[in-house]
Amino acid sequence: MPERVRDAGVSSHGSAVRRQRRTPMSFAAALGLTVVGTLIPGTGFLAAGRRKLGLAVLGVLLLLAGGMTFLALSRQREVLHWFVQPDTLMLIGALLPILGLAWVLVIVGTYRSLRPTRATPLQRIGGSAVVTLLALVVLTPLAVGGRYAQVQKGVVENVFAAPESKSATRPKNATRTDPWAGQDRVNILLLGGDGGKGRFGIRPDSLQVASIDTHTGNTVLFSLPRNLEKVPFPAGSALANAYPGGVFNGPGDRLEWMINAIYEDVPAQNPGLIDSDNPGADATKMAVGTALGLKLDYYVLINLKGFQQLINALGGITVNINTRVAIGGATDEGIPPKGWLQPGPNQHLDGYHALWFARGRYGADDYQRMERQRCTMKAIIDQADPAKVLTRYEAIAESSKSVVFTDIPGALLPAFVDLSMKVKEANVTSIAFTNKVIRSSNPDYELIQAMVIRAVKASTNHGTKAATPKPRASTPATPKPAPTKVATPGTPPPTTPAPAADSLDDACAYQPAG
Would the pTM of this model clear 0.85, i.e. be above it?
A: no
What span, in angstroms and rounded, lies between the C-alpha atoms of 512 and 514? 6
- What pLDDT was estimated at residue 371? 81
Contact 328, 338 (CB under 8 A): yes
**What pLDDT score was predicted for residue 343?**
92
Rounded distance between C-alpha atoms, residue 304 and residue 310, angstroms: 10
Closest CA to 151 of 391, 398, 404, 389: 398
- Tens digits of residue pLDDT in 180-196: 988 999 999 998 876 54
- Residue 350 has a pLDDT of 92
pLDDT of residue 5: 45
Give residue 342's pLDDT.
93
DSSP-assigned letters across all residues of 12-69? HHHHHHHHHHSPP--HHHHHHHHHHHHHSTTHHHHHTT-HHHHHHHHHHHHHHHHHHH
Output the pLDDT for position 399.
64
Q: Which pLDDT does position 24 carry in this prediction?
A: 65
At 507 the pLDDT is 76
Please report the pLDDT score of residue 200 as a whole number: 47
Rounded to an integer, what distance in angstroms lies between the CA atom of residue 369 and that of residue 260?
15
In 185-255, at which residue ranges do the beta strands (DSSP E only) sit?
A: 185-193, 206-213, 219-224
Task: Identify the burial level of 471 via C-beta atoms within 10 angstroms of its C-beta, where 0-12 means exposed, 13-18 middle and 19 or more buried.
Answer: exposed
How many Cβ atoms are within 10 Å of 68's Cβ, its own excluded? Answer: 11
Instruction: Write the pLDDT tens digit of every residue in 141-187.
Output: 999 889 888 888 888 888 888 888 899 999 988 898 899 988 999 99
**Measuring CA to CA, which residue among 37, 3, 158, 196 is closest to residue 106?**
37
d(Cα 307, Cα 322) in Å, to the nearest integer?
22
pLDDT of residue 390: 57
Q: Is 342 exposed, middle or buried (0-12, 13-18, 19+ CB in 10 A)?
A: exposed
CB neighbours of 36 closer than 8 A, spacing ≥ 6? 43, 44, 47
The three-state DSSP-derived secondary structure of 402-455 is: HHEEECCEHHHHHHHHHHHHHHHHCCEEEEECCCCCCCCCCCCHHHHHHHHHHH
pLDDT beneath 50: ranges in the chain:
1, 4-8, 10-21, 196-200, 251, 464-496
Predicted pLDDT at 492: 41
pLDDT, tens digit, 9 for 90 and up, residues 242-297 = 888 777 655 455 557 789 889 988 888 889 899 999 999 999 999 999 999 999 99
List, in sequence order, every beta strand (DSSP E) within 194-268.
Answer: 206-213, 219-224
